[in-house]
Amino acid sequence: MRLQESGEMYLETILILSEKLEHVRSLDVASYMGFSKPSISRAVSLLKNAGYLLMDQAGYLTLTESGRAEAEKIYERHKVLSRFLIGIGVDEKTAQDDACKVEHYISDVTFQRIKAFTKDHF
């Protein structure tokens, strides 16, 4: 199943939060993303049904193996694209904002070329 941009954003956020917090809850995701609890609950339900996410009895969210793989892929794209844009002179805030938009749509071929270029030059 191909995730939509919003699903990728939720997975990336859960990954980022899981690196900072001992346990991640829907409320943490809502707060980090600036979204309402109902929209997070709907997304969590969809991601659970698709096999990307687990929620235990206490409401803690955990990425499944496939969820973690998707989240890491998107997060890597974000970091590489941000570094590339900063390297060519874009200010950090704009680079972060633009990387967040581009990371969901860039082809694998183009991303790999940017990644290789960035590794060699920045």
Q: Determine the average pLDDT of the residues in 55-71.
A: 97
The pTM for the full model equals: 0.90
Distance from first CA to last CA of the chain, Å, rounded? 34
Tell me, what's the pLDDT at 122? 86
Dihedral, 104, 108, 109, 112 alpha carbons, nearest 10: 90
Domains of the chain: 5-69 (1.10.10.10), 73-121 (1.10.60.10)
Backbone angles phi, psi at 52, to 5 degrees: -95, -15
pLDDT class of 44 with cuts at 50, 70, 90: very high
